[in-house]
Amino acid sequence: MLLLLAACHKDKPEPPVQGQGQTATGHGVYITNEGNFQWGNASVGWYDPATGQATEDLYAVANGTGMGDVCQSMCLHDGKAYIVLNNSAKVTVVDAETFVATATITGFSSPRYFLPVGNGKAYVTEMSGNKVRVVDLNTNTIIGSIACAGVTQELALAAGKVFITNESKLYVYVVDPATDAITDSVAVSRGGGALTSDADGMLWVACTGGGGTPATLYRIDPQTVEVANTVPIPGPRKSPWRLRANGTGDTLYLLNGGVYRLSITDAAFPSAAFIPANGRNLYGLGIDPLNGGIYVADAIDYVQRGKVYQYAANGAEVGDFLAGRIPNGFVFR
Amino acid sequence: MRLPLWVVALGLLAAKGASGQGAPDTVMLHSVVIQAPRLSDFTSGIKMQVLDSSTMAHYRTASLGDLLRGESPVFIKNYGPGSLATASFRGSGAGHTAILWNGFNIGSPMNGQVDLSLVPAGIADQVRVQYGGAGALWGSGAVGGAVQLNDQPVFSRGLTVDAGASLGSFGDNRQQMLAEWSGAKWISSISAYRSAARNNFEYRNLELRGSPLERQQNAEFRQNGLVAATHLRINEGQQLHLHYWYQHNDRQVPATLLQAASTAEQRDASHRATAEWQRNGARANSYVRAGWFDDRLDWHGAATDSAAQNRSRTFIAEAEMRLRISSTQRIDLGVNNTWADAISDGYPNRLHQNRTAAFAAYRIGSRDQRSSAMASVRQEMVGGVPVPFTWTVGGEHAIAKVLSVKANASRLYRIPTFNDLYWVPGGDPGLLPESGYGGELGLHAKAGLSGDWAVHTEVTGFQRLMDNWIIWLPSGVYWSPRNLMNVWSRGVEARGGITWKKRRTTVKLDVMTNYVRSTNERAKSANDASVGKQLIYVPMYSGHGRITVGHGHVQASVGTDYTGYRYTSTDNLDFLPPYWLLNATVSCRIAKGRGYTADLLVQGYNLLGESYQVMLGRPMPLQSFNLGLQVHFNRPLRQPLHQE
């Protein structure tokens, strides 16, 4: 019996070597790793393009504990990083360089995205609960909410107004940050999620469609609060998401299986992917505002370390590195 | 009472089939009802573990999950006390173990699973664990193995009353009571049980700095149930068996370690009714069976929009005939029709499915009873579309008095569940059944040594290859199941024991070790680092050792369970550390009189207070204790019928 066991396979894993105590200094990119729902393995990594060094988990190294459950997004503001932990129902505030936690904002039901809106306030969208939360950034507490039925998603500040997409409704909502009230809305397709602004100060929204509405990119004029242009997304695959703009704001990138690229003046959606998926499971996208470098995250099977591919602005592959579990986004600094 | 010879012969065969783990300690051939579970004489070459009444006595108020965890190599994915528990049998998935109650598969048509924390071990008189694939015997889902929960009625036993109660740590209290009248022609029994636990145990939060002691919140559990059975001997050749089982569970669903506090609740309610008519002829036995199951599962999350309601109903009808074509050969022929429907917030409309299967089995034994072989086949149609043709062949041979060998091979399959096919969003009606092949070879040795010593050991090696293994992965915005994996499972199970017995004193040492490799053999996407790696939550190594000392009516045992690394990432880089648990049990007969006994049971779990998690982020208690009292009363029939 013992002989049989001796012939067997070693089961003790060897964890990968990673930089200890590395801080996020200089120009680089944070990688938000969602982690598995209910597994508590969310993390934020850091990649320094100058040295090519990647750190998988800044938070655990700096704080000695896990960060939480499902890292949906992260936002840099005033030297701090606000990490939105969806299934931990909290926003953890850390020093953007050392990643040492300084505060925790609690009281959410299922937070998704975070946006500072001025006057020491920030808005946080929620997947459930039918409201957008108002957070006081001085006390790190929730001080109010804006009723908004449905699954609110990304936010953007433009022309003094806050635009909020809503995945389950047919509108982009407009909030006045002075009064914390919805003042207007823009009719779009269902499945609105990603939101970004371009060189002309216009907003772009990617909608997956559904319920009889088509998959479409919308260009919205924040001054008039009206749709300025639409770019229909042809089949076969119609799941546009992770819409991002480059630093100069003249080019848009999004995931739709592969990475698609279009100019803000294009009338039609490109027929072929700029960077094809090639069997990869692309889940996150980021554009370096300094040089237009493209970062694409492959979540693989969602139950192992993801991989990040780095491309030059012209689409030439530069390199790759390992990320944490389910890399879903990039925040540049 | 006179029994036809063949009944005795069948009884002996059943006892022989049970020899893998020793025959039940009480064999009452004079009045046993031959209600062998379907095809149980057609398991030649298949490894079978019978959990006898002395083992079951320690689990009377425990769940089936606890029983399998403690007594079998089945790995139980336990999310915490009172929470979800599913089985991984020989490296398979949660939907790959068939759970059979009196021969009827009680797996949910919605997800193909049974929550083993909701099935009381005491629901059955006997639990049989059948190892390895038995698709030809039990149909879809019996990939890793099958667990049979069987009633074992005995006629002419008189009036029996059984009552038990237990008190345990964390507000755990359970009661159960059974009353049975067993006459020469009919048996009626009713048993009721309830259990409740606060499960507000303390644990070390290993996710936080300094591993502070925390208390589990929102983990209360309540269960009420009732089982009624009637067995009728219509005449010399005919019997009727009726069963009804109602159960209601109400439990809170705790948060994980890094999740915000939870207020979620889950309610499960089920009605299960079965009937079997049996006719025993000179050359053939005929059976007609029917089962009706109605399961509800309601989920209430924190947010008002996260409530979910599910209900499924299953109707099973089956006819079977066993023919004795000679003294050494038997044939079994049968048809099964399983109709299921389900309604859920996750489904576009009410779903239904009809499955029809025809099965046949053949068994031949040698006249000296040293060898036997069997072959069985099954063809199932789902909604009129044939699924893989399934077969099993097996045989066993006693090489010497002390040594026997078993071997079998089978074709296996699992059809996609309602959730796999129709869940909105994501479900894919085009999914293929999982299918594959499995086989095993086992050696069993048993010997009485000089004087008071006896030893036994059993070593089994198994292999299984499953293709089109279904896995749910996000695809774009939502999750979707796909036939993506090809899983190769193989391993070695070893079990052995040595017993020393002198007069009223017995000392027993039992050891079990399991080695399971279960690896994905096909890349799911371009960068998949999981190829050749162990499936998550399948420990490569596990085992237990136990020393039991008995003297008269007092018995004490100390045992330790080992569970090795469980990977929590498919690239096998993340893991949960191994753990050892030390458990102890003392049982004692505190009173015995004319027709009654009273037994006391004290159990301690995790005595060394190991901080461990079976599943990531789900804490388990440190030390816990349980005190149980069981009273048994029997008044025999005034005129014993056994007078030959």
Mean pLDDT of chain B: 88
Q: Residues B342, B348, B354, B355: is their CA dihedral positive or negative?
A: negative
Neighbours of B229 (CB within 10 A): 19
pLDDT score recorded for residue B358: 95
Chain B CB within 8 Å of residue A4 CB = yes
pLDDT at B644 over 60: no
Q: How would residue A82 be classed by pLDDT, with cut points 50, 70 and 90? A: very high
Q: Which of A34-43, A187-196, B51-60 has the highest mean pLDDT?
A: A187-196
CB hemisphere CA count around B113 (13 angstroms): 21
pLDDT score recorded for residue B192: 96
**Tokens linked to B559:** 């045992």
Chain A CB within 8 Å of residue B513 CB = yes
pLDDT score recorded for residue A12: 84
pLDDT at A8 over 80: no
Window 215-234 of A, Cβ < 8 Å to B: none
Q: Mean of the pLDDT values across residues A57-70? A: 90
pLDDT score recorded for residue B305: 56
Distances (CA, A) of B418 to A72, B478, B570: 30, 17, 26
Chain B CB within 8 Å of residue A12 CB = yes
Neighbouring residues of B56: CB distance < 8 A, sequence distance ≥ 6:
B67, B121, B122, B124, B125, B126, B127
Distance CA B548, CA B510 (A): 8
- B437-472 pLDDT, tens per residue? 999 999 999 988 777 999 999 999 999 999 999 988
Window 613-632 of B, Cβ < 8 Å to A: 616-617
pLDDT score recorded for residue B473: 75
pLDDT score recorded for residue A24: 78
pLDDT score recorded for residue B545: 96
- B137-191 pLDDT, tens per residue? 888 888 899 999 999 889 999 999 999 999 999 999 999 999 999 999 999 999 9
Cis peptide before B474 (omega within 30 of 0): no
Residue position matching structure tokens 């936690």 = A101
Of the listed ranges A195-209, B192-206, B328-342, B422-436, the least confidently predicted one is B422-436
- Give the whole-number percent of chain A exceeding pLDDT 90: 78
Q: Which residues partner with B240 through β-bridges?
A: B232, B277
Q: Mean of the pLDDT values across residues A34-48? A: 91
Exposure b/e, B41-80, CB count within 10 A at least 16 = b: bbbbbbbbbbbbeebbbbbbbbbbbbbbbbbbbbbbbbbb
pLDDT score recorded for residue B262: 84
pLDDT at B542 over 70: yes
- In chain A, where are the structural domains located? 154-276
Q: Which residues partner with B245 through β-bridges?
A: B227, B272
Q: How far is A152 from chain B (nearest CA, A)?
A: 14
Q: How would residue A238 be classed by pLDDT, with cut points 50, 70 and 90? A: confident
Distance CA A160, CA B612 (A): 52
B529: chain A residues, CB-CB within 8 Å: 300, 304-305
- B74-130 pLDDT, tens per residue? 999 999 998 999 999 999 988 899 999 998 999 999 998 999 999 999 899 899 999
pLDDT score recorded for residue A2: 47
pLDDT at B27 over 60: no
Distances (CA, A) of B34 to A270, B1, B3, B14, B498: 73, 15, 11, 9, 32
Q: Mean of the pLDDT values across residues A162-178? A: 95
Of the listed ranges A307-321, B199-213, B558-572, the least confidently predicted one is B199-213
B477–A241 CB contact, under 8 Å: yes
A300: chain B residues, CB-CB within 8 Å: 524-525, 527-529
Q: Which CATH architecture has domain A154-276?
A: 7 Propeller (2.130)
Distance CA B278, CA B288 (A): 7
Q: Which residues partner with B272 through β-bridges?
A: B245, B293
Q: How far is A53 from chain B (nearest CA, A)?
A: 20
Distances (CA, A) of A61 to A79, A285, B34: 19, 25, 65
Is the Cβ–Cβ distance between A333 and A74 less than 8 Å? no
CB-nearest partner of A128 from B258, B306, B459: B306
- B480-527 pLDDT, tens per residue? 888 989 999 999 999 999 999 998 999 999 999 999 999 999 998 888
Neighbours of A257 (CB within 10 A): 18
A305–B513 CB contact, under 8 Å: no
Chain B CB within 8 Å of residue A305 CB = yes
Of the listed ranges B59-63, B240-244, B314-318, B350-354, the least confidently predicted one is B59-63
The vertex-A180 CA angle with A176 and A186, nearest 5°, equals 45
Q: Which residues partner with B405 through β-bridges?
A: B397, B443
pLDDT score recorded for residue B60: 85
pLDDT at A4 over 90: no
Mean pLDDT of chain A: 92
pLDDT score recorded for residue B425: 79
Q: Mean of the pLDDT values across residues A52-61? A: 90
B541: chain A residues, CB-CB within 8 Å: 5, 8, 11
Q: Is B416 helix (H, G, I), strand (E, B) or coil?
A: coil
- A131-164 pLDDT, tens per residue? 999 999 999 999 999 999 999 999 999 999 999 9
Q: How would residue B350 be classed by pLDDT, with cut points 50, 70 and 90? A: very high
Distance CA B243, CA B123 (A): 11
Q: How would residue B231 be classed by pLDDT, with cut points 50, 70 and 90? A: very high
**Tally: H helices and E strands in chain B:** 5, 34
Distance CA B624, CA B619 (A): 14
Distance CA B334, CA B285 (A): 12
Q: How far is A224 from chain B (nearest CA, A)?
A: 31
Cis peptide before A236 (omega within 30 of 0): yes
B525–A12 CB contact, under 8 Å: no
Q: Mean of the pLDDT values across residues B330-334? A: 94
Neighbours of B642 (CB within 10 A): 10
Distance CA A137, CA A133 (A): 12
Q: Which residues partner with B444 through β-bridges?
A: B404, B458
pLDDT at B17 over 70: no
pLDDT at B37 over 70: no
CA nearest to A104, candidates B260, B256, B209, B262: B260
CA nearest to A34, candidates A333, A331, A329: A329
CA nearest to B570, candidates A325, A17, A38: A325
pLDDT score recorded for residue B135: 72
Q: How would residue B1 be classed by pLDDT, with cut points 50, 70 and 90? A: very low
Neighbouring residues of B22: CB distance < 8 A, sequence distance ≥ 6:
B50, B52, B456
pLDDT at B19 over 50: no
pLDDT at A104 over 70: yes
pLDDT at A71 over 70: yes
